[in-house]
Each structure stands twice: as C-alpha cells, then as structure tokens.
A and B are shown apart, each in its own frame.
Chain A
Amino acid sequence: EIVLTQSPGTLSLSPGERATLSCRASQTMSSRYLHWYQQKPGQAPRLLIYGASRRANGIPDRFSGSGSGTDFTLTISSLEPEDFAVYYCQQYGSSPPQTFGQGTKVEIK
C-alpha cells in the first residue's frame, strides 16, 4: 500500500506569495497516478492537477504540479485570496485502489 505524506500540515502565507506544497509517496509510483485537489470550507473538493503536472479544465496557470518517483509538488506561483484552502494529493494503486494524503492547509498569514 502506498501512503502519501503531505507537508507542511499548515502553510501561512500572504497574498502574492509563492506556495510550495509537498506530497511524498512511501514507494516509487508513476507520475500519471498522482493528482491534486483543492477544497474550500463547506465545499466539495475540486480537481486541480492530474498526472502530476496537467492542469484540469478551467484551472488558472498560477497552479502547477511537478515531480516524479516519490516526491511531488504543487506550486501556486502567486497566491490569490481565493486560493486559501486545503489541498490534497491522491494516488492510484492496486491495493487499495486509491488513497488521499492528509492535506495541507494554506492559510492567510
């Protein structure tokens, strides 16, 4: 079973700053199997990035994903007020078929 560990747990930043979120897998995995979601309070999650680096439909280009092997990163180049939220990575595997990381909260400093 692949376990995803996200860090930091909370990231305190100001609007306009760059956010770098980490998702580390417990074993090597294909980058095609790593996705990122954003969740705002009281809302359902939203798909941001799939296959580690591909932006989903309608996602602004300030969001980017990278990584391979066991280390993956979500970068928000310049935080907008609406970007303060919780971010989850998700992986696909064989058993169990899917797992999520525990989330990183990006909060206003």
Chain B
Amino acid sequence: QVQLQESGPGLVKPSGTLSLTCAVSGDSISSNYWWSWVRQPPGKGLEWIGEIYHSGTTNYNPSLKSRVTVSVDKSKNHFSLKLSSVTAADTAVYYCASSARLAGGGSYSAVIDYWGQGTLVTVSS
C-alpha cells in the first residue's frame, strides 16, 4: 500500500514559486505508477495539475503547463512540484497522488488510487 506525504511552505508570496515535495513510502517510486499533483481551492472542486513517471516522462494540464514543473528523485523516493509566478488564484490544498491503474497503453493515469493528506498553500504578501 503506497503512502504519500506532502511537505513544503504553507505561505508563498505573489509572483514567487510554490515548491512542494511528496515523500513516497510502501513502494518504490520506480514501480509502475504515475505520480501526480492535484489541487483544490478552498470550497471548490478538484483540478489535476500534472504527473510524472519514474523515467522522467511528464504530462501537464495545458492550463498550467507554462508554469509547472514536476520532477522525481529516485534516490530519495520522492517527487516534487514547482509552480512559478503564483497569484492568489493558486491558493489551494495541494494533494500528491499516485495511479497504479493506467490508461493510453500506460502513457497516463486512469484511476487515482492513492492520495496524500493534502497541504494548504496560501499565496499572500
């Protein structure tokens, strides 16, 4: 059973870069999963941000693609999110997640099987 734990600053200044890390336990990050980030603004719905495979292949939401980088560190068994040029609209609970059930011949996630507990990131000066 995969377990995920987000960490990172809870407050980021406008125009700055949001950086979060997700520690993976219970399995290797090099196993056959896609590793994802999903966010949820307060009181609103879920938005998929992007994902990475242990090979380094990434998929991003086009609405955020110009500002997002997802990376993986196999030596630490974790993956990370960077979101640049943040504004108040980026204030949200950020979840890291993983998918063992894949689509498109394995080229992206189908079902989000495991979720971290989520971490609130507020963008404010």
**Bound together:** no
